[in-house]
Chains A and B, each alone.
Chain A
Amino acid sequence: MSWDTSLLWQFDVLILAMVILCAVAALTIRDLVSCAVVGGAYSFLMCLMWTEMLAVDVAFTEAAVGAGVSTVLLVGTALHIKRRSRD
């Protein structure tokens, strides 16, 4: 199965664009808590991407670990250190 016969390639392109948007946003935002939340959104979009590639087990792990628990851990940590990044 090549790329153009995958499920709904328009959907793929949309997700890919949003993944790049989230990645750039996570790098440019100065506030670390917002950064963690944008990172969670990035993980969730990656989870959609894995589902689109029919890797359901990976998608499940990404949703549970990447978008779920690690976002909480990052937010919890960011609240304890200086919230604004300097660079």
Chain B
Amino acid sequence: MKQIAFLIICAIGVLLLVAAGDFPDWGDPHSPASVYLSPHFIEKTMEETSVPNMVTAVLADYRGYDTMFETIVIFCAGITVLTVLRRTHRKKEKIARPRPSRKDADIILQAASRILVPVMQIFALYVVAHGHHSPGGGFQGGVILGASFILMAISYDLKMVLKRLKEKTVLRLSGIGVLIYVGIGAVCLLLGGNFLAYASWSTLLGITELEAHSHGMLGVEVGVAITVMAIMFSLYVDLASGGDLDEGL
């Protein structure tokens, strides 16, 4: 049986490698992917949105609706893991698995994370705030921000972090992030524009339409970052403690 499976996988692998030969060359300007909309994005992003990083401009402005639902997907993933794993009083008696034992605190790890965590958090805020000028943005910044809390929970104690950042706060933050994103889009509707067409913000903020695009992107990136940060931390807390919230790795 195993030999047959191996043969089938080899055949499919060869087939895929042969088919990959038909792909356009890397960076080929005449490939179908780069003749339809890409030239418009590459040439007009700076004129239309005043944002130098066109990847962020496509993600947060031209395709803002997609990104909104990506954020909601992350939100749903976090909520699902929470629903399945979180052990309430009712579920408590069900299972008692052996837990990974935790030895004494490691002083080197704690000292290192004490220095590392503030740097990570500042860097994460920089990544979010500079998302439309340099690589990065809401997702990456939010993940780094969440990782800084996870690092604290690993090197110290899960309880210590949860005392400072309560589970209820984390869940509220994850909802608030999505609401910021949707709210920015909804305000555009109220001002008479299309949903997530940031140009309508210009009358409200008293700036030009170009600047409104840039500021709108920054606003939704902040929303994305808050949701991603909260959900990443919530995922870690639930997965690493098995839903008990008593002890992490």
Interface residues of A (CB under 8 A from B): 1-3, 6, 53, 56-57, 59-61, 64-65, 68-69, 72-73, 75-77, 79-80
Contact = CB atoms under 8 A, between A and B. Distances in A.
B109 to A, nearest CB: 14
Q: Summarize B's interface: helix, strand, loop or mixed.
A: helix
A76 B140 contact: no
Given A60-B140, A61-B140, A64-B144, A69 B232 contact: yes
Contacts of B136: 57, 60
Interface of B: 25-27, 53, 55-56, 97, 100, 127, 135-137, 139-140, 143-144, 146-147, 150, 154, 232, 235-236, 239-240, 242, 248-249
B249 A75 contact: yes
A2 to B, nearest CB: 5
A59 B53 CA distance: 15
Smallest CB-CB A-B distances: 8 pairs: A76-B240, A56-B135, A64-B143, A57-B55, A1-B27, A64-B140, A57-B135, A79-B100
25 contacts: A1-B26, A2-B25, A2-B26, A2-B27, A57-B55, A57-B56, A57-B135, A60-B127, A60-B135, A61-B139, A61-B143, A64-B140, A64-B144, A64-B147, A65-B139, A68-B143, A69-B150, A69-B236, A72-B154, A72-B236, A76-B236, A76-B239, A77-B239, A80-B97, A80-B240
